[in-house]
Amino acid sequence: MRVQHDDVPAPLAEALALAGQGRVLRFWPELDCAARSRLLGQLAAIDWQEFSRLQRLARARENAGVDAAFAAAVTPPCLRLGVGSDAIPPDAARAAGAGMLAAGTVGAILVAGGQGTRLGCSGPKGLVPVGPVSRASLFSVLFGKLAAVRRRFGRSVPLAIMTSSATDADTRRFLVETAHGGLDPDFVHVFRQHDLPAIDAATGDLLLDAPDHLAMSPDGHGGMLVALAESGGLEWFGRHGVEHVASFQVDNPLALPLDREFLGYHGLSRAEFSTQVVLKREPGERVGVVVEQGGRHAVVEYSDLSPALAAERRPDGRLRFHAGSIAVHCFAKAFLDRAAASDDSLPLHLAHKAVPYLDDSGVLVRPAAPNAIKFERFIFDLMPQADRVTLVEIEPRDGFAPLKNPAGSTADAPEHVHAALVDRARRLLSEAGVTVADGVDVELDSATILDASDIAATLPPGTHIEAPLVIRRP
């Protein structure tokens, strides 16, 4: 189909015609100048070769099945937090991790570009209040952890925050309004990931969600590698002397990306890619699993394992694939540099989603069932490229309470996150000899309380708490 509009640049008109996507201009005559340039901007950013690859993938309709590929795979050995191994006892790991933090060689990446569709977010999930008493936002709780590390070890941890078209403006506004959440602005680098078009599952065509706007979505947390490199973030880390980069997700307020012991296992094992895992107990748990085959490690998504393979158990009763991935990683900076320089881009995964779209008459349709395919890259797909991978098993109650679903859901809902944060606070208080009346919410201020020693320096043993309280070290 030829595209005939005088003010559409010829190369774009040609690309649209070649790709058979001229229909995205069907409302063109009704658009004013600003609307036309908005749509042109989006279209100009599309890589048409990649678009035809997306269409081919969508036609195949499947993520690569892995059962056959991983027939001989096993769960690799894991170091357990607090237990370690003969070669690396936990004390040695803690000392090494503390040394890395004190030397300022650790940086962090927070991925915060997701749309939070399950939770029903209209902006960044980072703004959702989770502090059980303070109602502090996810951003505040997570930034606080970096502030606490600076307080304890005397060095700022450079933090790169990944945003997306869905979260960028509100995240930057939050940073301005909160003076960078208490962090030194020289140690904060914000970068924005790319979008990819959603395509109609039936026709493979681009979708409009407004007359002047294509339905697009962020390209997955794996978009981090390219976007970080393009933004100059790898050099920025380098200028700050970063040798190890911990990455974590915005929706897990219990995350332990800067845990000394975790960092120590990573450093002492000279890993290129370390990752935290939790024990997957039941086949139906919706977590990806870390597997190893032929000396290479990979994360396999739960949807990519057949029910039979997911349910296989070892003679010791554990699932054959039981190392549940929780998306807290630590990379050697040199590994990220190498991966960013390589030509191998991370693979695309498909998700069938209900995406609002304009019908032919220009009415916005909100489908109840999936009508479109979205594409995402996952950062854990870098794992097979890593020469040394270290797995560190943690207890979920110490470091994993993701906020994914709305209140009333069976898992990962605000009430579960609330309970997990209060439970951790009560346990650390109890370690410090502080008791809390039944049913009373308590909260540890993440910016000043790193562990029970900070509590001991704040509240004398024997203290009894009877009303909701945020414990802050002065």
Query: Rounded CA gap, 347 and 325, in Å?
Result: 18
Q: Of residues 115-154, which lie at the interface with ligand UTP (CB under 6 A)?
A: 115-119, 125
Q: Which is nearer to ligand UTP, 142 or 148 (CB)?
A: 142
Instruction: Name the one range near ligand UTP by CB under 6 A: 23-31, 36-44, 101-109, 214-222.
Output: 214-222
Residue window 235-274: x/- pattern of binding to ligand UTP, with contact defined by CB under 6 A: --------------xxx-----------------------
Q: Which whole-number Å values give the CA distances from 30 to 25, 150, 316, in the listed order?
A: 10, 55, 67
CB of 219 to ligand UTP, least distance (A): 6
Q: Of residues 401-430, which lie at the interface with ligand UTP (CB under 6 A)?
A: 404
Query: Rounded CA gap, 157 and 241, in Å?
Result: 10
Residue window 372-391: x/- pattern of binding to ligand UTP, with contact defined by CB under 6 A: ----x---------------
Residue window 154-183: x/- pattern of binding to ligand UTP, with contact defined by CB under 6 A: --------x-x-------------------
Nearest residue (beta carbon) to ligand UTP: 114
CB of 120 to ligand UTP, least distance (A): 9
Q: Are 310 and 301 in contact (CB under 8 A)?
A: no
Q: For the beta carbon of residue 301, count every other beta carbon within 10 angstroms.
A: 16
**3-state SS, one letter per residue, for 345-376:** CCCCEEEEECCCEECCCCCEECCCCCCEEEEE
CB of 351 to ligand UTP, least distance (A): 8
Residue 197 sits in the site that holds ligand UTP (CB under 6 A): no
CB of 300 to ligand UTP, least distance (A): 16
State the Cα angle at 451 between 448 and 452, rounded to 5°: 110
Q: Which is nearer to ligand UTP, 25 or 196 (CB)?
A: 196
CB of 220 to ligand UTP, least distance (A): 4
Q: Hey, what are 313's tokens?
A: 């158990």
- Binding residue (CB under 6 A) for ligand UTP from 90, 131, 197, 220: 220
Q: Are 70 and 291 in contact (CB under 8 A)?
A: yes
Helix ranges restricted to H, 279-357: 307-311, 333-341
Q: Which is nearer to ligand UTP, 85 or 117 (CB)?
A: 117
Q: Which is nearer to ligand UTP, 118 or 318 (CB)?
A: 118
Q: Which is nearer to ligand UTP, 118 or 472 (CB)?
A: 118
Cβ within 8 Å of residue 404, ≥6 positions away: 118, 119, 251, 411, 412, 413
Query: Rounded CA gap, 156 and 11, in Å?
Result: 48
Q: Which is nearer to ligand UTP, 136 or 348 (CB)?
A: 348
Residue 218 sits in the site that holds ligand UTP (CB under 6 A): yes
Q: Which is nearer to ligand UTP, 58 or 465 (CB)?
A: 58
For the chain, what is the largest distance between any 2 Cα atoms, rounded to a whole number of angstroms?
Answer: 80
Q: Which is nearer to ligand UTP, 211 or 222 (CB)?
A: 222
CB of 250 to ligand UTP, least distance (A): 4
Helix ranges restricted to H, 269-321: 307-311
Residue 288 sits in the site that holds ligand UTP (CB under 6 A): no
Q: Of residues 58-117, which lie at the interface with ligand UTP (CB under 6 A)?
A: 111-117
Q: Which is nearer to ligand UTP, 112 or 268 (CB)?
A: 112
Instruction: Name the one range near ligand UTP by CB under 6 A: 180-188, 216-224, 306-314, 380-388.
Output: 216-224
Dihedral sign for Cα atoms in the order 415, 402, 77, 348: positive
Q: Which is nearer to ligand UTP, 170 or 451 (CB)?
A: 170
Residue 221 sits in the site that holds ligand UTP (CB under 6 A): yes
Query: Rounded CA gap, 280 and 389, in Å?
Result: 19
Residue 446 sits in the site that holds ligand UTP (CB under 6 A): no
Q: Please state the separation of Cα 312 from the chain's center in Å.
A: 28
Residue 470 CB burial class (10 angstroms; 0-12, 13-18, ≥19): middle
Q: Which whole-number Å values give the CA distances from 58 to 216, 304, 347, 366, in the listed order?
A: 15, 16, 13, 21
Query: Rounded CA gap, 363 and 365, in Å?
Result: 6
Q: Which is nearer to ligand UTP, 221 or 297 (CB)?
A: 221
Residues at the interface with ligand UTP (CB under 6 A): 111-119, 125, 162, 164, 193, 218-221, 223, 249-251, 376, 404
